[in-house]
Amino acid sequence: MPYYYYGFDYTYLVLVLPAVLLGLWAQMRVQSNFKKYSQVRSRRGATADQVARGILNENGLGHVRIERVSGSLSDHYDPRTETVRLSDTVYGSPSIAAIGVAAHEVGHAIQHARHYAPLTLRNAIIPITNIGSTLSMPLIIAGLIFNSSTLAFAGILLFGGVAVFQLITLPVEYNASRRAMATLDSQGILDKDELKGTQKVLSAAALTYVAALITSLAQLLRLVLLVGGNRRRD
């Protein structure tokens, strides 16, 4: 079955482009929801960094640091240094959006401390994933140029590691959000109606990881079809 018509690769149009558009839509939802609920100040007035510190202390993680980093929504937890990093738009903000994001990142710190299996597995395969993302495409291209199916499929196998990483990321992110929402509720940090807005922010963020997985799988299928089609033509 041909995958090119007059030099045009239609597999990109059919498989990858819809996934890319889904990713763009997901990013727009994150931005719009965060912007909307960044205007809603929590009734108790605590800032996101204060909430993060409180949750960490409550879970016996007083040694975990909280740092401010530049940018917007560049928040993350660094397991190597055991540091929660909150962006300019989150750190010091009393909004229900910022509090939700901070609590989510603290959720990753708790996962790390509790040896949450999917997070442990994801951290373990990061070196392999980095190698795969760097070498997969050069190997595939070299395989096509030199007519080597071994090289091409080795590249596909490495790219598959990237898709596996995205797959493992899903339960990690969803679990961190569930931990965040449960804590914000049980500790009375946010009221019930405030939690609804926070949930929308975290749900939109989770969708970006779903989109990333779909994009990786679509690209993986595309590469399999192209390399397989090239072998049949030969």
Instruction: Say whether 58 is catalytic.
Output: no
The predicted structure's pLDDT at residue 6 = 42
**What's the pTM?**
0.89
pLDDT tens-digit series, residues 156-200: 999 999 999 999 999 999 999 999 999 999 999 999 999 999 999
Rounded to whole angstroms, the Cα distance separating 99 from 209 reads 20
Rounded to whole angstroms, the Cα distance separating 31 from 201 reads 9
Rounded to whole angstroms, the Cα distance separating 127 from 158 reads 12
Q: In this structure, which amino acid lies at residue 80?
A: R
- Evaluate if residue 108 carries a pLDDT over 90: yes
Q: How many residues does the chain have?
A: 234
* Residue 132 CA from chain centroid, whole number: 18
**Among residues 166, 156, 48, which one has the least CA distance to residue 96?**
48
Q: Active site residue: 58, 105, 173, 194, which one?
A: 105
Over residues 140-148, mean pLDDT = 88
The predicted structure's pLDDT at residue 145 = 87
Residue 225 pLDDT class (50, 70, 90 cuts): confident
Q: In this structure, which amino acid lies at residue 123?
A: N
State the residue for tokens 């679990």.
Answer: 175
**Among residues 66, 96, 61, which one has the least CA distance to residue 185?**
96
- Domain edges within the chain: 4-233
